[in-house]
Structure 1
Amino acid sequence: MDETRIATALLSGPDAIMAADRNGLITFWNGGAERLFGFSAEQAVGESLDLIIPKRLRARHWAGWHRVMETGQSSYGDGDMLGVPAVRADGSTISVEFVIHPVTDTQGQLLGVAATLRDVTARFEETRELRRQLAER
């Protein structure tokens, strides 16, 4: 199989895959992202990542984003799964886990990031309920 067919298969799969440039503007949004967040690619591409970041977390997100864009270094290791709340088009909040993938030019300069995301809301809520039950005992 060639790389193009593999890439097409991955990009059309169930996972949400998105990318953003150095300014945090969405540059890629696949069908999985449309299903997860409820925004079409036409609605998302060109918009700020604020589209899916809860308002209360934006300052912290952007501080970290700018640090990574300036230094090229993240405090998260390669392939670390991150868990955060995110906002859907209908305004509801979901829990997502994601992995970031740096996107660089041929000289290794950071152009932005791509991410693979999954909805883990059910698991998060189940874990929270189990913790609540344990705390009550």
Structure 2
Amino acid sequence: MQAAIDYEQLVSAIGDAIIISGPDGAITLWNPAAEYIFGYTQEEALGQSLDLIIPERLRGRHWEGYDKTMATGQTRYGHDLLRVPAINKKGDALSIAFTVALLHGDDGKITGIVAVIRNETARFQEERALKKRITELEGRVGATAG
């Protein structure tokens, strides 16, 4: 026998940000993890555009893909992890990884997109530092071998 799942509690308790936006890109759900990662309270985020967390230089590309997804009902990021830059309330750069899923109404029309987002800023910075160190060491080996 399966117990009923309290989805509201699940969305609030989970450690990854869960953000839902409507067909127009306005935020309709913002869980506590989204607040923690991005710095905006639920009250500040609800009803706002996703531009709240998208760096200005990436907004054109984002909205092109978003509008295409709304028009076609298809996204390639349902199973593929997308890694992109984001910004928080302070304007600090973040590295995030996320998947998305389309939400549909009873009539089959798309009602929104849900994104499950993880902050990977620390991992990204560690990876970048390691790559830099490898390049430096390869340079030393190449200089001594030559």
Q: Name the TM-score, length of structure 2 as normaliser.
A: 0.87
Find the counterpart in structure 1 of residue 64 from structure 2.
Answer: 63
Q: Structure 1 residue 16: deviation in Å?
A: 0.9
**Aligned-pair identity (%):** 42
Deviations 1:22-66 (A, max 9, x none): 000000101111111000011000000000000010000011011
Give the distance between the partners of 2:56 and 2:110, measured in 1 at CA: 26
Q: Distance in 2 between matches of 1:40 and 1:71?
A: 32
Q: Match for 1:30: what amino acid?
A: N
Q: Deviations over 1:78-105 (max 9, x none)?
A: 3221111111001101111111121111
Max Rg structure? 2
Residue 102 of structure 1 aligns with an amino acid whose one-letter code is L
The match for 1:21 is 22
1:48 aligns with 2:49: yes
The one-character-per-residue Cα deviations of 1:73-129 (angstroms, maximum 9, x if unpaired) are 1133x3221111111001101111111121111132211101111111111111111
Moved more, 67-76 or 22-31: 67-76
Number of equivalent positions = 134
Structure 2 CA distance for aligned equivalents of residues 47 and 101 of structure 1 = 20
CA distance in 1, matches of 2:97, 2:37: 12
Amino acid at match of 2:4: D
**Aligned to 1:12, what secondary structure does the other structure show?**
helix
Q: Which 4+ stretches in 1 moved above 6 angstroms?
A: none
How big is the shift at 1:10? 2.0
Structure 2 unmatched runs, 5+: 139-146
Match of 2:80 in 1: 80
Q: Which one-letter code corresponds to 2:94 in the other structure?
A: I
Give secondary structure in 2 for the equivalent of 1:61: helix
Residue in structure 1 matched with residue 125 of structure 2 by the alignment: 125
Q: Is the counterpart of residue 2 in structure 1 residue 4 in structure 2?
A: yes
Q: Counterpart in 2 of 1:93?
A: 93
